[in-house]
Amino acid sequence: MGGDRAPGEIVAGALRAAESGLPVVLVGDPERMGDAGGLEVIPASETIEMHEDPARAVRTKKDSSLVRAAEAVRDGRASAMVSAGNTGATMASALFRIGRIRGVGRPAIATAIPVPGTTPTVLLDSGANAECSAAWLLQFAQMGAAFARQRFGIADPRVGLLSIGEEPGKGSPLVKETYALLDAGKAGPSVRFIGNVEGRDVMSDVVDVVVTDGFTGNVVLKTLEGSMKFALNTVLAAMSSSDEAKAASEAILPALLPLVDELDPDTYGGAMLLGVDGVCIISHGSSSARAIYNAVGVAHHAVTEGLVEQLRTAISTN
């Protein structure tokens, strides 16, 4: 029921996933959902809207699709949950119903930032916690590295701390404190800390996992979204600026389109909530059927490869 294009695109994406062999169960109001194409439906009479206060909504709307989806994961009726709805409410329902992995201070949202030509950069926290402690950031480094290994097959991911200069002394007090912990190896041998990185490194091949607090991470994510959209519109405007340019663009588009596709957030399906005791994917509010289809694939992959087990190990052994 969540997202700007629900339920139509969500159901369509789920059907596509089911057709490709990934079993999907829908959660929501059967009447509003319409034709579920034969998929199993867990009924939920309520919906948490985008503007609602997350914690309060999860507390009061016990029969909402988000709460019921989290309960389905908790009860083993589903192996993972995917939502394009209210981000905060998705986190809250996962946190309250599925619970945290033992030892995790706070779950974090890990977003894959596309870097055409190479593996994406994992940015976390990209919005779960507006305020963070150094101990949490240390865990984000551990969980981010485990996720980069599982999701993108990066054997020994390079972990960087987002700051405003490469030197150890640069940044906010939080960054300096976290730097000291990471530099002293407090995250354990599974984290290959390469030092501070800067905003310009996120869309590059110098780092695999970028660790930051949820305020800064969310600002980075939305700044990237805005600037890439802007750049794309600029290029498209230039390509249709004259009849000559329109004709010429046909020669350039074949080289450009695969990159545009790689930059499309729908390609990645959504962000992963790391630290809860189950697989939970937070998809973009504007998710298309394709985004949902990809998100289900990512969820399936995470379940079959044992992401949660790997996160548990990353947290408990350090």
Closest distance to its own copies from the beta carbon of 73 (Å): 26
Q: Which is nearer to its own copies, 130 or 180 (CB)?
A: 130
Written as six digits, the tokens of 71 are: 């309960």
Task: Report the residue from 215, 267, 285, 305 that binds its own copies according to the rule CB under 8 A.
Answer: 215
The stretch among 29-37, 89-97, 196-204, 300-308 that binds its own copies (CB under 8 A) is 196-204
Contact 186, 138 (CB under 8 A): yes
Our finding on whether 234 is near its own copies (CB under 8 A) is: yes
Task: Report the residue from 228, 267, 301, 313 that binds its own copies according to the rule CB under 8 A.
Answer: 228
What CA dihedral angle connects 87, 89, 91 and 97, to 10 degrees?
-160
Residue 229 makes CB contacts below 8 A (sequence gap 6+) with: none
Contact 94, 276 (CB under 8 A): yes
Closest distance to its own copies from the beta carbon of 242 (Å): 7
Q: Which is nearer to its own copies, 12 or 256 (CB)?
A: 256
CA distance 291 to 268: 7
Our finding on whether 242 is near its own copies (CB under 8 A) is: yes
The stretch among 65-73, 228-236, 270-278, 284-292 that binds its own copies (CB under 8 A) is 228-236
- By CB under 8 A, what part of segment 87-146 binds its own copies? 116, 127, 130-131
Q: Which is nearer to its own copies, 62 or 246 (CB)?
A: 246
Our finding on whether 36 is near its own copies (CB under 8 A) is: no
Binding mask 5-24 for its own copies (x = CB under 8 A): --------------------
- By CB under 8 A, what part of segment 248-287 binds its own copies? 248-252, 254-256, 259
Contact 14, 33 (CB under 8 A): no
Closest distance to its own copies from the beta carbon of 175 (Å): 8
Our finding on whether 200 is near its own copies (CB under 8 A) is: yes
The stretch among 39-47, 216-224, 268-276, 303-311 that binds its own copies (CB under 8 A) is 216-224
Total residues contacting its own copies by CB under 8 A comes to 57
Task: Report the residue from 4, 8, 56, 238 that binds its own copies according to the rule CB under 8 A.
Answer: 238
Our finding on whether 155 is near its own copies (CB under 8 A) is: no
Residues near its own copies (CB under 8 A) = 51, 116, 127, 130-131, 162, 164, 167, 170-173, 175, 198-204, 214-216, 218-232, 234-235, 237-239, 241-242, 244-245, 247-252, 254-256, 259
